Structures are given as C-alpha cells and as structure tokens.
Structure 1
Amino acid sequence: MSGANTDSFSRQDAARAFPPPGAQAKNAPLIDLAELPSWIVEEDADFLAFSKPGWVVCHPSKNGPLSSLVGAVREWRGGATMHLVSRLDRETSGIILIALNREAASKSQKAVERRMVSKTYLAILEGEMREPQLVDAPLRPDTASPVLVKQCVGNGPDARTAVSFFEPLYRGNGYTLARVELHTGRKHQIRAHAQHIGHCVVGDKLYGRNERLYLEFCEKGWTDRCARELEMPRQALHAARLVFKSPDFQRTFSAPLPQDMRDFCLEKIGVPAEQLDRLLDD
C-alpha cells in the first residue's frame, strides 16, 4: 500500500471524479479548507451541520488533521473545541452534526442515549423492490468472512437486535431508490440488511456480490476489476435526515442527495428530476 495521498479533495471531486487518483481504503485524500464552507447546510452558535461527501473520513487519522472532517473543521475554526454528534462510514455521504460547545453536545448526546433520534437514509439498491420491507434481523460479526469488520444476519451470544425499514420510492431498469429508516443503529446495519433481503446497495464493495473487491481495494486501490464489477465507485448510501425529538432538544437537519447519486437516479432509474428534491416529503 502506498503512502498518504496529498491530493486536495473538492466538492467537484466528490461528485464527478470519485475516487480521487490513487485513493485506497486507508489512504483518504486531504480536505481542501477552501471547500469546507460549501459543505455546510446549517450553522448557528451551537451546531455545525455538514453534508459530507462520499469519500471523507469523519474521525482524525494518522495522516494529519486534513485527512478527516473533524480535523479539518478544527483547523478551519482555529483549534476550537468541538464534539462529533453523528458519524458515517467513509463511503456514505450525508448529514454530519458537530456540536460547538458542551451544552449543545450534552443535550444532543442525551437524545441519542434516550433513543429520541430518528435517522433517514436514501439508498440505491440492486433489483426492483416492489413493496416496503421491515427487516427485523439480528446482526453479529461474520466469522466466515476474511474481513474482520463485516457483519451478517445471525443468532448467538454476540448477536444484537437490528431493525430497518426499507420503503421503495422509485424503481426501474433493475434498480430501486429506497428510503430507509433505522430503528436501531448497528455497525453496517443498512448494508448488511440490504444484502440479507437480496437488494444489495449499489457500489458496495463489502456487502455486494463479491467481498473480495473490498480486499482488493484495500490493497491496490481502485482497479480495472473494481471498475468492471461495481456500478458506482462508492456505496450508494446517503444520510439524508437527522431528527432530534427529546423534550429539551427538537431539531431537524437535512442534506440533499449528492450529485453522483442524483445522476444515477436520473440516468439509470429514470427518476424525474423535479422529484429528486422532494424525496423526504411526507
């Protein structure tokens, strides 16, 4: 595996040139601080809400502050204290919330601990899902997989309750754009449940048709084989809405569908353009 990638990463890169040249699973590109403000979807004295592109790491890494969203925001704000309220897998785009003071962090974290938070995702799935599906299937580590972090549906002492609700919004040409509501928050829950019901997330290297693509990507980065077998360079999963519903903290944060998923929906599923901005309407 090569060393740290020093290419800057911009919003345009996220939308049009994913993954950046030389990108590997443990080699995230650096964030351009000049681009950071364009990712903000809401800002006040208590919170910063970002629409994270689908290649940005949330947590600081050994490759320096600009290799993660938290590190870059801290640099951008001159080293100010902040607290990460929500987080996402690297290839999942969408809403990330950062609290800017202890009081805001406390009330948002209490809502999380009391399960007074709802999370809504948008996912592009393989196959055409005809009806909504409630998936109530416990998850545990997949001991049969060579990938240590992989989860699977199963029972046993290490299994944890996991419940997801998949609602198809549009389908066509062998794909489905679905809204997904999480009733629990387990590692890789949506991706593992999607695989379990036979509708893998498009572009998912680990929970797709061939988990060896994940290992190959970790070792070699984006290869010709990845390009042949994956219909998107990243998993088509987007955290679209985060709602806090505790008595002392009621807020809603949303992030629009990113360009790469919009293009897929327009070109391959045939979703009307005017509908893509109304996907979360009740």
Structure 2
Amino acid sequence: MDESRLCTYPRFCDLKWHPDNGKTARLTSRSRLRLPIDLRLHTPQFTVLHETDDFMLVDKPAHLLVHPSVPGNPPTLLDGLEALCIYELANGGKLSLINRLDRETSGIVLVAKTKEAARELSIAMEKREFRKSYHALVWGWPKEDQFTVEEPIRRKGEVEDSPIWVKQIVDPDGKPSLTRFEVERRFEKRTSNGNRFAMLRCYPATGRMHQIRVHAAHSGHSIVGDKIYGPDDACYLQFIETGWTSSLERQLLMNRQALHASGFGWKGEDWECSLPLDMSNFLGE
C-alpha cells in the first residue's frame, strides 16, 4: 500500500456530545460548542486500492458517511477525497462518487476524477458493466451452498405505515431485484444471540436500496448487526434514540451490519478488498 494515499482527515464541527456512551454525536442548531467528533467512528480514513488518471477505487471503513447529508455533519469520505486530491482539483479535476455504500457498510467505492470519466463510468453502471460482489456474515446455516433470491423490492412506507422511512420490503409491486448468494463458510460461535453463522458471498444483479440486506433477511438469514432487517427493527429506533448500548450489542452482536463490498470488476480487470477487522474477528481469524 502506498502510504501517501492513506488519508486521515480529522476536523471539528458543531456537535451535541453525549458522553454517556461515548459514541453518539448529534447535530443540533442550538449547540455551538466546538467539540471534537468521535474519531473512532467518523474520521475519514480510507485506503486507495487502485488509481489511474481517470478514477480510483477506495476502501471505505464502516461508519463513515460517503458524502455530506446535512450542514455541519461529521467529515465524510468525500471530504477526505477532496483533501487527498487537492492537486488534481486545483488543475481542473472533479470528483464524482459513482457507487455509494450505506454508512455502516464497508468496502469498495468507485470515484471518478474528471467530468469525462464520471460520464463514462456512470454509463457503464447504467449498462451493468461492473461486476460487484460483497461478503456478509449472517445468522444461521443456509440449506444450499448456492441460492438465488429474485424478489421485487419497494419502500415499506408506500404500502403500509412504517416508523422507518428508508425500510424496504419484498413486495410483488416493487422493482425487479435479484441477488445470488454463495456460502463460503459455516461456523459455530457462542454468542448472546445465536450459535450458528455463515459467511456469504453476495452477487447483486440489480442495485436497489438495501437489496442484499432485504434479500438476505427474506431468505431467513439476516445479516449480523443489521438494525433494520435483523432481529427487530426496533433496534434501529432505539439506536437513533440512545446510541449504541449493551442491550443492542446482545441482540445485534456487531455495531454495524456485517456487509462488506469486497469485489469489483470492469473491462477484464478485477480488484479485491480484504475483510475489515471487525468481520475477521467475528470469524475468529
């Protein structure tokens, strides 16, 4: 790894700090305190896996926002990329995030460095030229070593009341969605919530919101740590209210969904991104 392309870009922002759990920082218009963010969760540190004059592939850690969502939010991947590519930007470059990962999902993000590259890569994505794969830790042991979930997905709030606006569900009137799964490993681990787990390789043929998480749960094997599609979606609401707690840890086992964008391919080339430490530790590696 080229250490010059390992980016760490801490900064300060206006936050309301909750020292009770040490892991929650909420935005508030009334608070103007200049307190450091929790760098364990929010520092935009990432690794460049591959880079050309036109694009780069970076390994995004879990808990890092990909791009700004509200004014004054903690540093994002885009902030770190802009700091890293300051020379390119000063010479006419323009950064564009071609694919985006959920905040808690780790792994490969494709970034265009010029307007021309962004157009080419966006068209390639629309034509489904990219080969993407993920690793996921799930509860239970799937019966088959390979299985496919081909079920349409839509937002739950379009069908019935949902306290979680972003929650998606399988619904016959949803958008066509297909995910292939392969079991790479079945293992046993004594935990506060279950003893049998599996490592899946996931191949989404379509790109719906939360698709892998929804299809994994639909198959009966929710992703470990998933606050919305795991044991109980009340975990998500509790997390929003209280931050990470010992009660949530007993239910979810990991403080984020154990989903990692590990593979990316295009035009005869393929790149791999190794598992992050939290997933490797869960596997006992």
Same fold at TM > 0.5 = yes
Change (3 A) 1:29 1:67: farther
Pairing partner for 2:270 from 249, 252, 272? 252
Map 1:196-215 → 2, pairs under 5 A: 196-215=218-237
Q: Secondary structure at the match of 2:220?
A: coil
Whole-angstrom distance in 2 between the partners of 1:65 and 1:151 = 25
- Uncovered stretches (5+) of structure 1, i.e. residues with no partner: 7-19, 267-272, 274-282
The amino acid across from 1:155 in the alignment is P
Whole-angstrom distance in 1 between the partners of 2:85 and 2:24 = 27
Matched, 1:138 2:152: yes
Structure 1 residue 265, shift from structure 2 partner: 1.1
Which residue matches 2:206? 184
- RMSD, aligned α-carbons: 2.5
Structure 1 residue 253, shift from structure 2 partner: 3.2
Q: TM-score, normalised by structure 2?
A: 0.78
Whole-angstrom distance in 2 between the partners of 1:191 and 1:26 = 28
Is the CA contact (8 Å cut-off) linking 1:43 and 1:49 kept in structure 2? yes
Q: TM-score, normalised by structure 1?
A: 0.79
Which residue matches 2:5? none
Pairing partner for 1:166 from 181, 193, 203? 181
Higher mean C-alpha displacement, 80-89 vs 139-148: 139-148
Higher mean C-alpha displacement, 140-149 vs 116-125: 140-149
Structure 1 residue 26, shift from structure 2 partner: 7.5
Change (3 A) 1:70 1:226: same
Whole-angstrom distance in 1 between the partners of 2:270 and 2:68 = 26
Task: Quote the sequence identity (%).
Answer: 36
Is the CA contact (8 Å cut-off) linking 2:263 and 2:271 kept in structure 1? yes
Matched, 1:149 2:166: yes
Whole-angstrom distance in 1 between the partners of 2:59 and 2:69 = 20
The amino acid across from 1:236 in the alignment is A
* Count of matched residue pairs: 244
Whole-angstrom distance in 2 between the partners of 1:61 and 1:145 = 22
- Uncovered stretches (5+) of structure 2, i.e. residues with no partner: 1-13, 29-36, 189-195
Larger Rg over CA atoms = 2
Pairing partner for 2:63 from 42, 55, 58? 55
